[in-house]
Structure 1
Amino acid sequence: PSTPLVTTGAVDAASVSSKGGGFEYTNNPGSFIIERSSLLDSRVYDPKAISHQDFLMDYTDTNTTYSNGELIENHNPLGVVVHQETYAWNFPFADFFVILNFTIKNVSGKYLDSVYVGLWTDGVVRNTKITSPRTGSSFFNKGGNGFSDSMNIAYEFDAAGDIGFTDSYLGVQFLGSTPSLDSIFTNGTETLPSVNYVSWQFRNTDDPNFFAPNNDFDRYRKMQGYFGGQNRYNSGVSPEVLRQPSNRSLLITSGYYKNIAPGDSINVVYAIVCAKKYGTDAASLDTKEQKTNLFNNAEWALRAFYGEDRNRNGILDPGEDIDGNNSVTRYILPAPPLVPVVKVIPEKNKATIYWDKRAESSVDPISGKRDFEGYRIYRTQSGFDLSNIQDVLSSLVLLTEVDSVNDIGYNTGFEFVKLDQPVTFPGDTTNYYYKYEVNNLLNGWQYLFSVTAFDEGDEENNLNSLESSSLANLNRVLPGTPASEDDYIEVGVYPNPYYGSAIWDGSSERLRKIYFFNLPADCEITIYTLSGDVIKRLYHNQQNSGGDIRWFENFSSGSSQKFAGGEHAWDLVTDHDQAIATGLYLFTVKNNNNNKIKTGKFLIVK
């Protein structure tokens, strides 16, 4: 028999370097990744989009050199062109997976037979805020691995690294293909599965099972599900061995596809699935209970893939043709109501939340009904952001819920949040119909607010009530004093005195902050030593309230903050890039609208 040909996108490292071969796919000059979205208010909205965030790309293995003319080492092209699409949704029940949809076309002019398609991943599950990758091999050799043949998912977890800070699974799941394959097939005297899992150690050359394949023959054998010799997962290779910590990568494959004729294509679909470990078992273990969330999330990925094909038999049965196109439409999920448009206005010790009512006209794509039921308002507590690990989703606390008056839920109605007339704001054409005030907030502390919409549920399709994403319209605000043009209101600083190593500060000099308050809308703050030396000038206006200091870079997750307008943050670092010392400091505030100046002082104790 002839030697098999295998084309790889990478072989052992996540690198764009071509040195050493293995990076055998290329794209045409001028070919770019395209982004599109089904969300109407997205900057990349496209009616042809499948999900909330699609990425589309094309590449081929037909080239033997890179665009710079460099030879692709040891590359014997199969002659395929790949069109790849990825799909992701922001729904709370679907934001833990990404679907990867590959259409592989034979352009070789010859038949390709006994074809396998695989997705290889050099997965690492660690927490880089606890341990840096710069520690070298000790960072990468803590992963445990496994495979579920019932869910067709290979996975990795942290078996010995940042235990307690990485209680998660990373999964790679085979969803299906066209043409579809039977779960098992006969190859000579063997009965083999059509979905296979193998794993190998990073650049290993001598382990009989976990050696890294370095030629097409070895790679093809791995794609057939052979670790080494005739050994397969759970048949010559113990699952318990794979659970032990090591630096391994994983490969999940489907095949074989009997042949691909010249000009024909096959479609193969995978998903990347993430999940929090379930239960109270030790985080370093890999128990059946711990995989509860992983398998539930993987089931949602399957549900998205099968779309209208509810019984997953590959046939459009009566009652399944939701969109009326006489064929199975994939990638359809039940949908909660549209995400409300939200605006949060920070004030002194207070925040006011406004939102629109577009969610109320939402139509569920599965039931075809308008099934809006109500709204939920969420907020983080003060100090949620002080941890090295910000888990925004679990930090959001329900403030209130309002729902329609019917035979579902609390029947609160909307009267106590509904405005008499909708309001708009400068530069914002949205009509806001609802308002909710949150009092007793701490000035200068960071809060996140969100408003979600939820539906009635769908008993006919066995669906509980679905809720829009609480992360989709997050508003990050800092309550404080509003801008003041009153000549008789004094400016000030808090905390004053400032004591070093306060609970709200970070671990370094650049992660400290104080606030100036009662500022005019447009002003210049000048800070002096007692001897009159100018050490810092701050320029305050609507666009700049000090949100560019390191504290916000570290503790605001890269998103913008909304200040109340009359406050400005400072990190206690001078214009000469030096941290100020213990002492008493003076400051002036010049109102740029009338040139009037106010003065103040503050004490720093380190």
Structure 2
Amino acid sequence: LTVTSFGRIGNSFNASFWSAQPSCEYTISPVRSHIEHLFNGGLWIGGYRNGQGPFVSTAAIDRSFSVEEFTQPPDSGLTERSSLSDSRYYSPRAISHQDFVADYTDSNTTNPATGQRILDHVPLNVSVHQESYAWEFPIADFFVVLSFNVRNTGSTPLDSVYVGFVNDFVVRNTNYRLPNEGSPFYSGTGVGYVDSLRLVYGFDAEHRAQDMPTDTYISMKLLGVDPMSSILPSRSDILDSLNKFTHFSAWQFRASTGDANLFSPADDQQRFEKMETSTPSDYYLNPSNASYLGKAGNRYTLLSVGPFTLMPDSAVTVVFGIVAAPKFNTGNPTDYQNNIAASRQTLNDNATWAQRTYNGEDRNGNGVLDPGEDLDGNGKITRYIFPNILPPPHMRVVPGDREATIYWDDTPENVIDPLLNRKNFEGYRLYMSKPGYDFRGLQDPLVEAASFDIVDSLGFDAGLPARLVTPKQFAGDPNKYTYQYVVPDLLNGWQYLFGVEAFDKGDPTSGLPSQASTRATAKVFPGTAAAAGDSAAVGVFPNPYYTHAVWDGTGERERKIYFYNLPAKCEIRIYTVAGDIVATLEHSGTTYNGSDIQWFQHYSSDNTQVFPGGMHAWNLITDADQAIATGLYLFTVRNTATGEIKRGKFLVIK
């Protein structure tokens, strides 16, 4: 999710940022899906100043990515913090694994950074302290928290104040559909609202087979208001009251004809009316309504809460969450494609986790500390509390000839859960991809390969794998690996992704399910290790090579063959049958990972893949930067250490 320093999220698919910087992509781990969910979104604050108005200050009202009505001094920007002790942004003040913090105001009528006048802007005179929070925990990697502390910095009261957030959800698989397509790209999203959850959501309402999977939801949820007393006349029935003070509105992009309820607001008066009222429920609950919001379209949605009264120097904090989820698969293909209540089960669960995270010690969400809730004893609500998540084990994968050996350590086994005051480790799960993990856009190529858990009447009681008698160590690696698992029957030269995660017992007493750590992952290419002597025969595969082998990419520079049984250090020379040198390759088994050719730059772009040491790829491009022709080719391999030369040949058929 792109977060800015002036109240806006998303990047409007601006060519200066996108697609290297996602707008709102889900999923992004273990590989980027390139499924986008948001054009842009932004903070709205509306109200009356000294009885005059209404005035509405906005961070986003249209497709522009430029700063609107919230501004900062030049060079202010975002401050990053992290609660992770090994992060370069570590701060004891951090709330999450990645905080972004910004301060801005609506008080300026000219932009301090550019000197340009802000058109049609009447300030409310409020300042905003914005913080966003994101965690890498598996129970939290599907939501981002957006917190806005709104303060009246003027000298007169503000009344009938509403705080809202507007979003233009655009759910598209950008592996197949791109923003430069224009209106058809933006007009395929349906939206809906769940009033009991204070949740507005968007989804792909076209679901065209040729567009490939976009089976995900994006949503915004109002998590809370602090202090609750700023909006509620009494503390009785407090959550139901908060729901009643929450409003959902939707409108067609730039609409001024058709259904008047869906007209795009053109000025502060119309924007304020959207903030203080709600779109009739028939528009999102009744599919037979001609203006049903669940149909494909291009719409803005607004989630707002109020009214508040802000005296000079008083403030209120309003917290939203951006929550994503895959559609829940009921087993019925029609259910999976359509937006039915059952398909939103995972979205509802994820939204509940976001709410539970925000509530923290305030378990029932009533805005006060009830008996037994003050876990840290500081007399105030501590929010954003997670059950202790185990760290992933340290992991290393060593590729071999038609196999890979996974090593990992036992660090998760000794972690004490501070809430339970005991160790809570239960086991490990191992994952791997199938051959052909070479294609971008996969949401999750990993499938479970093995599972181990303590024999304790929980889970399958499979037991943990046998510990190595002596922990395995590698040169230059400080970790001591306690376990190993050999994966046989792999295909040499193919890319595989492996993962290991630890999981805990959960806590049935408090209703916490078992949770897994983040996955430690590694990419490897099985093949021959560096030849220890000069007895092994060198070779090439595939041989013969036919144009567009299964593992090839799309162009001349995304082809590859492999030389194997190579010495640790050697020089490879390729010749025509006439004796002309075609290409010269230098091989160093300890460092080579294929990153010198385009296939690996494209399909293993993070440059972390591991080779076995005795295998080297070539893209069939000559030293003169030309693609080779059909024919028989000769090659030599000279061992740099011994001077021994071996020979071979291969055939290329185009």
Could you state the TM-score of these two structures normalised by the residue count of structure 2?
0.83
Moved more, 279-288 or 260-269: 279-288
> What is the CA deviation profile of residues 8-64 of structure 1, one whole-angstrom value per residue up to 9, with x for unaligned ones?
112112x4335xxxx222233332423333334444333333223322233332332
Q: Which residue of 2 aligns with 1:469?
A: 518
Look up the equivalent residue of 1:536 and give its one-letter code.
Answer: A
Match of 1:349 among 396, 402, 406: 402
Q: Which residue of 1 aligns with 2:8?
A: none
Match of 2:420 among 351, 367, 375: 367
Rounded to whole Å, the distance in 1 between the matches of 2:533 and 2:284 is 77
Look up the equivalent residue of 1:490 and give its one-letter code.
Answer: A
Q: Which residue of 2 aligns with 1:519?
A: 566
Q: Which residue of 2 aligns with 1:453?
A: 502
Moved more, 151-160 or 80-89: 80-89
Q: Which residue of 1 aligns with 2:583?
A: 536
Match of 1:561 among 598, 606, 609: 609
Look up the equivalent residue of 2:261 and give its one-letter code.
Answer: N
Unpaired runs of at least 5, structure 2: 1-50, 236-241
Q: Which residue of 1 aligns with 2:302?
A: 251
Rounded to whole Å, the distance in 2 between the matches of 1:597 and 1:84 is 66
Q: Which residue of 1 aligns with 2:101?
A: 56
Q: Which residue of 2 aligns with 1:294?
A: 347
Q: Which residue of 2 aligns with 1:188?
A: none
Gap change, CA 1:26 and 1:585, over 3 Å in 2: farther
The answer to whether residue 628 in structure 2 is matched with residue 580 in structure 1 is yes
Rounded to whole Å, the distance in 2 between the matches of 1:378 and 1:284 is 28
Q: Which residue of 2 aligns with 1:600?
A: 648
SS of the aligned residue for 2:173 comes to coil
Alignment of 1:310-321 (within 5 A): 310-321=363-374
Alignment of 1:389-400 (within 5 A): 389-392=441-444, 395-400=445-450
Match of 1:431 among 480, 499, 519: 480
Q: Which residue of 2 aligns with 1:214?
A: 266
SS of the aligned residue for 1:359 comes to helix
Look up the equivalent residue of 1:120 and give its one-letter code.
Answer: V
Q: Which residue of 1 aligns with 2:383?
A: 330
Number of residue pairs the alignment of both structures matches:
584
The answer to whether residue 90 in structure 2 is matched with residue 33 in structure 1 is no
Q: Which residue of 2 aligns with 1:169?
A: 217
RMSD (Å), alpha carbons: 2.7
Gap change, CA 1:428 and 1:84, over 3 Å in 2: farther
Gap change, CA 1:327 and 1:557, over 3 Å in 2: farther
Rounded to whole Å, the distance in 2 between the matches of 1:494 and 1:453 is 38
Look up the equivalent residue of 1:159 and give its one-letter code.
Answer: A
Rounded to whole Å, the distance in 2 between the matches of 1:559 and 1:103 is 41
SS of the aligned residue for 2:54 comes to coil
Q: Which residue of 2 aligns with 1:260?
A: 310
Q: Which residue of 2 aligns with 1:550?
A: 598
CA contact (8 A) 2:196 2:243 kept: no
Q: Which runs of 4+ in 1 moved over 6 A?
A: none
Gap change, CA 1:480 and 1:148, over 3 Å in 2: same
Q: Which residue of 1 aligns with 2:319?
A: 269
CA contact (8 A) 1:184 1:193 kept: no
Gap change, CA 1:183 and 1:575, over 3 Å in 2: farther
Gap change, CA 1:133 and 1:183, over 3 Å in 2: farther
The answer to whether residue 96 in structure 2 is matched with residue 45 in structure 1 is no
Rounded to whole Å, the distance in 1 between the matches of 2:504 and 2:555 is 46
How much has 1:593 moved relative to structure 2?
4.4
SS of the aligned residue for 1:474 comes to strand
Q: Which residue of 2 aligns with 1:104?
A: 150
How much has 1:127 moved relative to structure 2?
0.7
> What is the CA deviation profile of residues 237-292 of structure 1, one whole-angstrom value per residue up to 9, with x for unaligned ones?
875311111111222111122x2222222111111111111222355521111111
How much has 1:382 moved relative to structure 2?
1.9
How much has 1:325 moved relative to structure 2?
1.9
Could you state the TM-score of these two structures normalised by the residue count of structure 1?
0.89
SS of the aligned residue for 2:648 comes to strand
SS of the aligned residue for 1:126 comes to strand
Rounded to whole Å, the distance in 1 between the matches of 2:188 and 2:462 is 51
The answer to whether residue 183 in structure 2 is matched with residue 137 in structure 1 is yes
How much has 1:575 moved relative to structure 2?
4.2
Identity %: 46
Rounded to whole Å, the distance in 1 between the matches of 2:207 and 2:233 is 36
> What is the CA deviation profile of residues 140-179 of structure 1, one whole-angstrom value per residue up to 9, with x for unaligned ones?
1111111110111111111115455111111111111112
SS of the aligned residue for 2:293 comes to helix
Look up the equivalent residue of 2:441 and give its one-letter code.
Answer: I
The answer to whether residue 505 in structure 2 is matched with residue 505 in structure 1 is no
Q: Which residue of 2 aligns with 1:69?
A: 115
How much has 1:7 moved relative to structure 2?
1.5
SS of the aligned residue for 1:222 comes to helix
Rounded to whole Å, the distance in 2 between the matches of 1:198 and 1:117 is 13
Gap change, CA 1:121 and 1:330, over 3 Å in 2: same
CA contact (8 A) 2:284 2:294 kept: no
> What is the CA deviation profile of residues 46-105 of structure 1, one whole-angstrom value per residue up to 9, with x for unaligned ones?
333322332223333233224132222222222222222222222323221111122222
Q: Which residue of 2 aligns with 1:309?
A: 362
Rounded to whole Å, the distance in 2 between the matches of 1:520 and 1:140 is 55
SS of the aligned residue for 2:423 comes to coil
Rounded to whole Å, the distance in 1 between the matches of 2:177 and 2:255 is 25
SS of the aligned residue for 1:561 comes to coil
Moved more, 90-99 or 520-529: 520-529
CA contact (8 A) 1:584 1:603 kept: yes
Look up the equivalent residue of 1:9 and give its one-letter code.
Answer: A
Match of 1:115 among 161, 167, 170: 161
CA contact (8 A) 1:333 1:365 kept: no
Moved more, 39-48 or 449-458: 39-48
How much has 1:302 moved relative to structure 2?
0.6
Moved more, 371-380 or 234-243: 234-243
CA contact (8 A) 1:127 1:162 kept: no
Q: Which residue of 2 aligns with 1:95?
A: 141
CA contact (8 A) 2:408 2:481 kept: yes
SS of the aligned residue for 1:352 comes to strand
Rounded to whole Å, the distance in 1 between the matches of 2:512 and 2:243 is 37
Rounded to whole Å, the distance in 1 between the matches of 2:248 and 2:233 is 14
Q: Which residue of 1 aligns with 2:198?
A: 152
CA contact (8 A) 2:195 2:243 kept: no
How much has 1:605 moved relative to structure 2?
1.7
How much has 1:485 moved relative to structure 2?
5.4
Gap change, CA 1:438 and 1:7, over 3 Å in 2: same
Alignment of 1:473-492 (within 5 A): 473-484=520-531, 486-492=533-539
Moved more, 238-247 or 42-51: 42-51
Rounded to whole Å, the distance in 2 between the matches of 1:153 and 1:448 is 36
> What is the CA deviation profile of residues 308-364 of structure 1, one whole-angstrom value per residue up to 9, with x for unaligned ones?
111222221222222222221111122332221111122222222222222122233
SS of the aligned residue for 2:413 comes to helix
Rounded to whole Å, the distance in 2 between the matches of 1:62 and 1:8 is 12
SS of the aligned residue for 1:419 comes to coil
Gap change, CA 1:372 and 1:237, over 3 Å in 2: closer
How much has 1:596 moved relative to structure 2?
4.9
CA contact (8 A) 1:126 1:162 kept: no
Moved more, 590-599 or 215-224: 590-599
How much has 1:461 moved relative to structure 2?
0.2
Q: Which residue of 2 aligns with 1:84?
A: 130
CA contact (8 A) 2:167 2:302 kept: yes
CA contact (8 A) 1:159 1:283 kept: no
Gap change, CA 1:87 and 1:110, over 3 Å in 2: same
